[in-house]
């Protein structure tokens, strides 16, 4: 068996908010016949047998455009595409009763408006109180046969930050999960965010293109790398909605879904998100030195005690009906109140 592949494309999800990554492999002409699951274990770094078997069973491993079984034997020049679940292995997910703002549900999908302060899925340091803990309880009430040992991951194919509010879609079936994962990877999902950022954004419209990857010294932070020497490609389109002298309300449309992408890209542009404690927005970035102004900003911080970012709209093709679906979540009160305060402040400043 030849060790080299003629064409291999590996797209890692280290810094993705989409929880599936795509591998594309074209088999070498000299490749001997080998079970596809064994072959992929050898070729994909950090792959686990469980995740590969799950991807195959869900039809998320395609050979020459068609789903296959785990005993399929690869052939020379086969074109393999894998949509693989790359989220952390989930164990001991406990159902917890909690308030869930479900704005739409059918047999295939759920649309949830997540509040700020809620973690999406269990992970290091956050094993309870997450959105999925609440979804587990909700689904158990619908189907008592589900128990904590066999609860699925509910087709979570993307996530938003703990302190970002807004819309998430969850798949309730394997078919729906496969379709949604592909739409996210192919960037056909429509996602629009509203953000309040520091400074008067120069252009009414623009596009930020800069790789996003982990900061080389502080692993919890991400950084923009405009030369592409690190991280993953990332594109954010923005447009100005309203200007308030020292801050600007913008709409951001994601073309890619990297972790902290909007927060990192806006900081790179010179306009960190208002009250973003990770990326320098939790202090006065623009404005005057007067004590009254500092008091005004501190009052705004006390109202919106997180980055002023909201996932406002979400659009996609329904995985079963094929119809275009579109959802919108109103801007939450904390951001709305701060916007109104800045609107009044900007009006007063302009009248002086």
Number of domains in the chain: 3
Closest to 267 measured CA to CA, from 256, 283, 290, 289: 283
Please say which residue of 31, 49, 84 terminates a domain. 84
Question: How confident is the model over 91-131, as pLDDT tens digits?
Answer: 567 889 999 999 999 999 999 999 999 999 887 677 789 99
Angstrom distance (rounded) from CA 6 to CA 274: 47
Question: How confident is the model over 201-235, as pLDDT tens digits?
Answer: 999 999 999 999 998 888 889 999 998 878 889 99
Instruction: Note whether 31 and 177 are same-domain residues.
Output: no
> What tokens appear for 27 in the block?
């088999």
Please say which residue of 151, 185, 219 terminates a domain. 185
76 Cβ neighbours under 8 A, 6+ residues apart? 27, 28, 29, 30, 31
Beta-bridge partners for 63 = 66, 80
What CATH number corresponds to the domain at position 286?
3.30.2350.10
Angstrom distance (rounded) from CA 252 to CA 60: 30
Catalytic-residue membership of 161 = yes
Angstrom distance (rounded) from CA 352 to CA 344: 13
Whether the pLDDT of residue 14 is over 90: the answer is: no
Q: Which of 108, 161, 276, 334 is catalytic?
A: 161
What CATH number corresponds to the domain at position 80?
3.10.290.10
* CA dihedral (209, 213, 217, 218) positive or negative: positive
Q: Which run of H or of E encompasses 207?
A: strand 205-209
244 Cβ neighbours under 8 A, 6+ residues apart? 339, 342, 343, 345, 346
Phi-psi region of 294 (alpha: psi -120 to 50; beta: other; left: phi over 0): alpha
Q: In this structure, is residue 75 part of a structural domain? A: yes
Which residue range is the domain that position 335 belongs to? 190-351
Instruction: Note whether 162 and 221 are same-domain residues.
Output: no
Instruction: Note whether 263 and 324 are same-domain residues.
Output: yes
Q: In this structure, is residue 2 part of a structural domain? A: no
Angstrom distance (rounded) from CA 52 to CA 223: 31
Angstrom distance (rounded) from CA 240 to CA 266: 12
Instruction: Note whether 253 and 282 are same-domain residues.
Output: yes
Please say which residue of 163, 185, 207 terminates a domain. 185
Angstrom distance (rounded) from CA 259 to CA 13: 9
- Decide if 39 contacts 53 (C-beta within 8 A): no
Question: How confident is the model over 149-179, as pLDDT tens digits?
Answer: 444 555 788 889 999 999 999 998 878 888 8
Question: How confident is the model over 291-343, as pLDDT tens digits?
Answer: 999 999 999 999 999 999 999 999 999 999 999 999 999 999 999 999 999 99
Instruction: Note whether 237 and 328 are same-domain residues.
Output: yes
Mean pLDDT to the nearest integer, 256-269: 95
> What tokens appear for 172 in the block?
């309730």
């Amino acid at each position: 068996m030849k060790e080299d592949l003629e064409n291999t494309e590996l797209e890692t999800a280290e810094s993705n908010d989409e929880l599936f990554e795509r591998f594309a492999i074209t088999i070498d002409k000299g490749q001997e016949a080998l079970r596809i699951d064994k072959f992929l274990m050898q070729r994909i770094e950090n792959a686990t047998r469980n995740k590969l078997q799950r991807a195959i069973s869900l039809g998320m491993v395609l050979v020459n455009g068609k789903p296959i079984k785990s005993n399929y034997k690869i052939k020379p020049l086969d074109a393999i595409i894998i949509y693989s679940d790359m989220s952390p292995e989930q164990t001991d997910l406990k159902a917890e009763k909690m308030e869930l703002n479900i704005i739409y549900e059918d047999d295939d999908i759920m649309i949830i408006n997540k509040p700020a302060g809620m973690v999406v899925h269990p992970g290091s340091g956050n094993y309870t109180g997450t959105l999925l803990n609440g979804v587990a309880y909700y689904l158990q009430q619908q189907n008592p046969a589900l128990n904590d040992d066999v609860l699925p991951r509910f087709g979570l194919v993307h996530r938003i930050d703990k302190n970002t509010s807004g819309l998430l879609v969850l798949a309730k079936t394997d078919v729906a999960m496969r379709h949604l994962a592909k739409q996210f990877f192919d960037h056909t999902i429509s996602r629009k965010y509203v953000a309040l950022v520091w400074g008067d954004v120069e252009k009414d419209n623009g596009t930020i293109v800069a790789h996003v990857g982990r900061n080389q010294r502080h692993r919890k932070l991400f950084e923009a790398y405009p030369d592409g020497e690190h991280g993953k490609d990332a594109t954010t389109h923005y447009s100005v909605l309203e200007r308030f002298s020292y801050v600007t309300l913008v709409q951001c449309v994601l073309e890619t879904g990297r972790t902290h992408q909007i927060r990192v890209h806006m900081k790179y542009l010179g306009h960190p998100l208002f009250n973003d404690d990770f990326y320098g927005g939790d202090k006065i970035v623009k404005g005057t030195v007067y004590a009254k102004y500092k008091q005004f900003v501190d009052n705004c911080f006390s109202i919106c005690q997180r980055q002023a970012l909201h996932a406002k709209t979400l659009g996609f093709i329904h995985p079963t009906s094929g119809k275009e679906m579109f959802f919108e979540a109103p801007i939450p009160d904390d951001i709305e109140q701060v916007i109104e305060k800045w609107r009044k402040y900007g009006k007063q400043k302009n009248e002086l």
